[in-house]
Amino acid sequence: MSTPDPTGLAPGAVLGILGGGQLARMMALAAADLGVRAHIFAPEPDSPAFDVAARHTIGDYEDEAALARFADAVDVVTYEFENVPAATAAFLAARTPLHPGARALGLTQDRLNEKTFVAGLGLAVAPFRAVDSLADLEAAVGALGRPSILKTRRFGYDGKGQVKIAAETELSEAYEAIGHFPAILEGFVPFSREVSVVAARGIDGAFAAFDLCENEHRDHILAFTRVPARVSAPAALAAGEAARKIGAALGYVGVFAVEMFVVGESTDETVIVNEIAPRVHNSGHWTSEGAQTSQFHQHVRAVCGFPLGSAARRGRIEMENLIGDAGLRWRDLLAEPGAHLHLYGKRDARPGRKMGHVTRISPEAG
């Protein structure tokens, strides 16, 4: 076995992963490729990542005795989802290296704090206002107008925890719909495309970004990602630089995604930051076959202190999410020339549930 790098670990190390879903599953597979053993910690006994990990622990994220045993059994901890309880992150960080760190986790758990942070870096965001009461909502709508989007500050994903404020929307009903939770109102952005940058930052500050990708959502869930995004070169460059700036300001270690809106046309296109995801990301799944180094291998490299790999793209790529019953198409997809199928090992195909994905690669246009 090689000598450990002073800034990180070496093959043979144990990577602890909080969460046992498909992202953890793909991280564990990538870790195995690099000689790193994965130890999954998750509360669900049927977690898909358990099938491919060297070891797993079933436990609640607030069970400190179980967390302490987990921390003692691993060399570094990461996570597959951003809603890890802050107390859990702090408890583990006091016992073993945690990447990405607790600051990035806490910041991205709160939409208001996240927007404030990004705006403070001089990056463009949608106009926003804090909403802690119906009176706040009325004042915010008065300032930002309609349409606008009301979102809970915490625990929203795939369209959950948000309501569109249209011309006919009754504000009291909208506030009731989000459960009167602390919220943020965001002004409407007349975007032409939704894009994202998936990037990695190493322990030594090294940075590598994959090519800007274009995302198509259906029913608030990512349906397709296509690379490269159909945007101007200046807009693509600005998106990558925004990700670099965010990563540096957070002292980030690992893979992260920055979701953005494209506004304007042609050479007048600009990007507006929407959200930061402090983890490997659905819109980066194309990298498994479409890039020199996948986002999952890149994340393992980063959090273990290994050198980052090349983010170079291999052709033109489309990634399709397999949602619900779409996973039942597996036989046809396996028979499709050039299709690369990934199934997540989930037993039940429910509406809105991500069952797998497929990537398709074609040569660059001549």
Instruction: Quote the pLDDT of residue 253.
Output: 98
Instruction: Quote the pLDDT of residue 5.
Output: 47
pLDDT at 1 over 50: no
Residue 254 CB coordination number (10 Å): 25
DSSP assignment of 105-139:
HHHHT-HHHHHHHHHHTT--B--EEEESSHHHHHH
DSSP assignment of 299-358:
HHHHHHTPPPPP--B-SEEEEEEEEGGGGGGHHHHHHSTTEEEEE---S---TT-EEEEE
pLDDT tens figures, 312-358:
999 999 999 999 999 999 999 999 999 999 999 998 999 999 999 99
* Residue 136, C-beta contacts closer than 8 angstroms, at least 6 positions apart: 129, 130
pTM for the full model?
A: 0.95
Instruction: Quote the pLDDT of residue 271.
Output: 98
pLDDT (mean) for 241-260 = 98
Instruction: Quote the pLDDT of residue 2.
Output: 38
Instruction: Quote the pLDDT of residue 18.
Output: 98
Helix (H) or strand (E) segment spanning residue 14: strand 14-18
pLDDT at 43 over 60: yes
pLDDT tens figures, 115-163:
999 999 999 999 999 999 999 999 999 999 999 999 999 976 655 689 9
Residue 266 CB coordination number (10 Å): 9
pLDDT at 6 over 50: no
* Residue 69, C-beta contacts closer than 8 angstroms, at least 6 positions apart: 57
Q: Is the dihedral of CA 21, 24, 28, 33 positive or negative?
A: positive
Among 15, 8, 14, 28, CA closest to 296: 28
Gyration radius of the chain over CA positions: 20
Do the first three CATH levels of 14-98 and 127-187 match, i.e. the same topology?
no
Backbone angles phi, psi at 312, to 5 degrees: -60, 140
* Residue 20, C-beta contacts closer than 8 angstroms, at least 6 positions apart: 40, 41, 42, 44, 47, 48, 49, 50, 56, 80
pLDDT tens figures, 184-219:
999 999 999 999 999 999 999 999 999 999 999 998
Q: Where are the domains of the chain?
A: 14-98, 127-187, 193-362
Confidence category of residue 4, pLDDT binned at 50, 70, 90? very low
* Residue 213, C-beta contacts closer than 8 angstroms, at least 6 positions apart: 195, 196, 197, 198, 225, 226, 227, 228, 229, 283, 284, 286
Instruction: Quote the pLDDT of residue 267.
Output: 80
CATH architecture of 14-98: 3-Layer(aba) Sandwich (3.40)
CATH of domain 127-187: 3.30.1490.20
Instruction: Quote the pLDDT of residue 220.
Output: 87
pLDDT tens figures, 77-92:
999 999 899 999 999 9
* Residue 223, C-beta contacts closer than 8 angstroms, at least 6 positions apart: 216, 217, 320, 321, 323
Q: Which amino acid is at 337?
A: P
Instruction: Quote the pLDDT of residue 155.
Output: 78
8 Å CB contact between 355 and 349: yes
Task: Indicate the average pLDDT of the chain.
Answer: 95
pLDDT tens figures, 53-85:
999 999 999 999 999 999 999 999 999 999 899
pLDDT tens figures, 252-299:
999 999 999 999 988 899 999 999 999 999 999 999 999 999 999 999
As a whole number of angstroms, the distance between CA 271 and CA 231 comes to 10
Instruction: Quote the pLDDT of residue 171.
Output: 98
Q: How many helices (H) and strands (E) does the chain have?
A: 11, 17
Q: What CATH class does 193-362 carry?
A: alpha beta
